[in-house]
Chain A
Amino acid sequence: KAGVTQTPRYLIKTRGQQVTLSCSPISGHRSVSWYQQTPGQGLQFLFEYFSETQRNKGNFPGRFSGRQFSNSRSEMNVSTLELGDSALYLCASSVSGTGLAEQFFGPGTRLTVL
């Protein structure tokens, strides 16, 4: 069974631009969560989608948004990029996102904002 895939793996943008990251979960997994990982803040939860609906949300500004499609694939968008948005963005999928909530992570997208 294929793992979680994320595209692109690396991205360089400038301040003020916007970016869209993509995540394809493991087949059969309906929950997709997004995290931001930085050396100073660790792994911070952005949001979780289940059946095309945002079910949980972290404490990030409205510039960070996401969506999930009917095939469970998910996208994350960051508008008006700031230098502090430079980070590794990780996507994780799970069967249902409840119960044991065992998450399987993708390799991440390394975003650099110049």
Chain B
Amino acid sequence: TQLLEQSPQFLSIQEGENLTVYCNSSSVFSSLQWYRQEPGEGPVLLVTVVTGGEVKKLKRLTFQFGDARKDSSLHITAAQPGDTGLYLCAGTNAGKSTFGDGTTLTVKP
């Protein structure tokens, strides 16, 4: 069974602060996705990383895939209230995705 552990589980910060969310596994994945989910809605895809060591930037969000393709991190710079939500990572192999339990982020104005 492939498991993905996300940390921290909950994070509450003030607007303007920086934060990092982690996604770790003992399994190797062919790709890894990050999603953001708001209450009552489905997850929205933010990014896909494929190559070990890959770094992708999406405005204030920076995503990194570990060299061994077992872990990933999401760094948010100068967080805003609009960043509030549940952040999910998903590792994919052979078309099957395993999701972490998510990090619930609250950004206070």
A90 and B42 form a contact (CB under 8 A): yes
From A31, A43, A105, contact of B95 by CB (8 A): A31
CB distance from A9 to the nearest CB of B (A): 9
B88 and A100 form a contact (CB under 8 A): no
B42 and A43 form a contact (CB under 8 A): no
Q: How many residues of A contact B (CB 8 A)?
A: 26
A100 and B97 form a contact (CB under 8 A): no
A108 and B42 form a contact (CB under 8 A): yes
B40: interface (CB < 8 Å): yes
B40 and A101 form a contact (CB under 8 A): no
B42 and A42 form a contact (CB under 8 A): no
Q: How many interface residues does chain B have, given as a range?
A: 20 to 34
- Which B-chain residue is minimally distant from A90 (CB atoms)? B42
Given contacts A48-B96, A102-B33, contact A43 B48 (CB under 8 A): no
B100: interface (CB < 8 Å): yes
Q: What separation, in Å, do the CA atoms of A45 and B42 have in the docked complex?
A: 14
B102: interface (CB < 8 Å): yes
Contact with A along B94-108 (1 / 0, CB 8 A): 111111111000000
A101 and B41 form a contact (CB under 8 A): no
A70: interface (CB < 8 Å): no
Closest 3 CB pairs of A and B: A105-B42, A43-B99, A42-B101
* Apart from the given pairs A42-B99, A101-B95, 8 other A-B contacts in the complex at a CB distance below 8 Å: A42-B101, A43-B99, A43-B102, A97-B95, A99-B95, A100-B92, A105-B44, A105-B45
Instruction: List 8 contacting pairs A-B, 8 Å CB cutoff, sorted by A.
Output: A4-B42, A43-B102, A48-B96, A98-B94, A99-B31, A101-B92, A105-B44, A108-B41
